[in-house]
Structure 1
Amino acid sequence: MKTRKIPMAAVSLLLFIVMLVSACSNEASPNNGNNKAADAPDATNANADTAVSQAFPRTVTSANGEEVTIAEKPQKIVLVHWGLTQDLLGFDLPSIAVTLPFTANPSFLDTEVYKPYVEKFDEVTVVGENTAVNLEALLQYEPDLILAGSVTNKDITEQLSQIAPTILIDEEKTNVWTDWQSVITQFGVILGQEELAKQTIDEFTAEVEQVKQQLSSVEGTVAYLQVRDKTIWLQGTNYAGDYYEPIGLKAPEEAKGDGIELTLEGLAAIDPDHLFLGYFNYNDKSLPALSDEWEKSEVWKKLKAVQKDQVYAINGELSYGYGPISRINGLKAIADALK
C-alpha cells in the first residue's frame, strides 16, 4: 500500500498551488499517463468496466445544493471524512486517497482484516488523520473527485472545491455514524455502482438473519463494553444496534440509547448475563486496558457473567467501527462466542 504524508502548508501557499495546478491543467493533454480511462480495460474486469462506463456522465446533487456533473468514471477519488473510510473500500476503483480515524502509521488498513480490501486498489494514499486533512498532500494526489461530509469537513469545503469537483454527503439528513447502508447507497449513486452497494447491504442482511438463527437459544441480557486504557464504555443501541435486537439479543436498560461510561460499581449494578469486552488493545497486549485492573477485584468476580464463564473478548477497534467491514466481522465474533 502506498501512503504519503506531507506537512500542512499555509493557506496562502495552498491557494497559490491551486492556481498553479489549474493553470497547468489547462495546458495539459486530457489523456496523460495518469488517466487510466484512456487505457484498455483489464479483460478480467471488462464486463464491470463496461457497466460502469455506461453509467456516465451523471449529475449528482451535493448537500450544499450544487449539482456536480461527473463526465466519466473517476480514476482517483479522495474521501476526506475519516469516519467513512471503510464504506468506500468495497467499491471498484483504481485509486483512492483517504483520511484515517487514528494514525497513518500504524494504520488499521495494514491489518489482516482490511488487506483483501486494500490490495485490490492500484494505490491507496493517506491525506490526513481524523478531521485534520493535509490539503497539500491532497493537491499532489491530483484527484478527479472529492467526497466529503457536510458537517465534518465544512471548514475546508471551499478549499476542496478549488482542487477538484467536490460532493458533500448531507450529515444532517443521514446519520453517517449509524446508517452505513445509506452512506454506501449514496456512494453507489455517485460512482455509478448502485448494484455493488446493494449487494453489500444484501450480504449484511443475510448475515444478520443467519446469526439470529444461530443465537435463538441465548437467554438473558448482553452487554458490549468498549475497553480503553483508562475508560470503559457500555455500547448503546444507538451505535451498536446491529448487535442487539436484530440478532435477537436483549440489551440492558442502561444500553438503550447512546450508552454510558462505566465504573466497576456501575457495571455490577447492570450485572449482565453475557459480557463482551471490546478491547482497543486487542492486537497489542503491551498496551494497557482498564479491565485488567477490574478483573482483580472481588466485585468483578461476583458478576453473573464472570461466574457463568460468559465473558468474551473481541476486537473493539474493529467490531465497533462504522461501516460494513466492522459490522460483519463483529457479527461473526459475537456468533462464534455465543453459539
Structure 2
Amino acid sequence: MAPPASASAFLAALRAEGLTVVEVGDWRDHNRNHKGPWGPVHGVMIHHTVTKGSARTVDICRKGYSGLPGPLCHGVITKDGRVHLVGYGRANHAGLGDDDVLRAVIAEKSTFPADNEASTDGNRHFYGFECENLGDGKDPWPAAQLEAIEKVAAAVCRYHGWDERSVIGHLEWQPGKVDPRGFTMAGMRARIADRLDSGTPKKPAPLPTPKRPVVDLSQLIAAARTNPGMKGTPVTYSGTRIVEAALVDEGLLAKPRLDGHFGSDTVRAYTRWQLKLYPGASTKPGGDADGIPGKSSLVQLGKRHGFDVKD
C-alpha cells in the first residue's frame, strides 16, 4: 500500500531527476478528489494528447473539456522536454481499466495480461502524464521529450521504490486505447530500468515504432449489422473497440459505451461520423450515413486515430 507522495515531495523528485518543471497555476490543489479517493498508488501511466501546440495542450490538460473536467493528468510533457504540472490528486486520465493488469503492475510482473475489461478505477491508482503528440504514428517524438518521459517515470519509481514494471501505457490498461503511439512501452521500460540501475540511461537508443492496429472492414460491418446486446454478451468482433475508441475521442460516443459491442449507440455515433464527413448524406438503410461503416469513412477515421483498414 503506497500513499501518494506529497505535492512538495513529488516536485522535488522530478527536479532531482534533472527535469525542467513548470508549475501551472494552483496545480497543488487542482484535482478531482471530491469524486473519489486518490491512492493507494501503484504505478505511472503514460498517454499522448492528440493535440498540437504546447500552450494549447497544457491548457486542455489543466481545464479539461465538455464531459471530462480537468485536470486530465498530473503533468504534461511537451515536445521540448519540459514537464508542466497541472494538477495533483485524483485526475481524469486513466478511467476504468483491467483489474488483472493492475494486479500485474502491483506484482511488477515482466508481462501484462490482455486489457480486456474495464472494471477498475485507474484514476485512483496511477500517476498520469500526458505527452504532447498527435498520436497518428507520424508526429515525431523528439529526443528531449522521450528523455523527459524516461526521467519522469524513473523519478516516481525511485521515490516509491518501484522498478520499471510499474510503468504502463494507457493502451496496456484500458480496452480500445492506443496511446502512447510512436514508441513501444517495452522499449521505454528498458530505458527506465537503465536509469534506475545507473542514475542515467546506458544508451538512449531510438525506441522502435510499434505496428499500427488493423481493423477488418468485413468483420466490422458484420458486427454493426448484428447489433449485439450491451455489456455482458459476447463481443462480436474485437476490432470494434478500436473504432469505438476513435469515436469516443471524436466526441461522438459516450465513453461508457466503449464496450466492444457495435450496438445501436455505436451505430448512431458512426452515423454522426459519416455526416461529419458527408454533410447531408442519407441516413436511411443503404445511405452514406446509415451507421454501417464503409471503407472511405473508416479509412478517414483510421487516419485521424492511428489504425489501418483491410477489406
Pairwise same-fold verdict (TM > 0.5): no
TM-score of the superposition, structure 1-length normalised?
A: 0.26
TM-score of the superposition, structure 2-length normalised?
A: 0.28
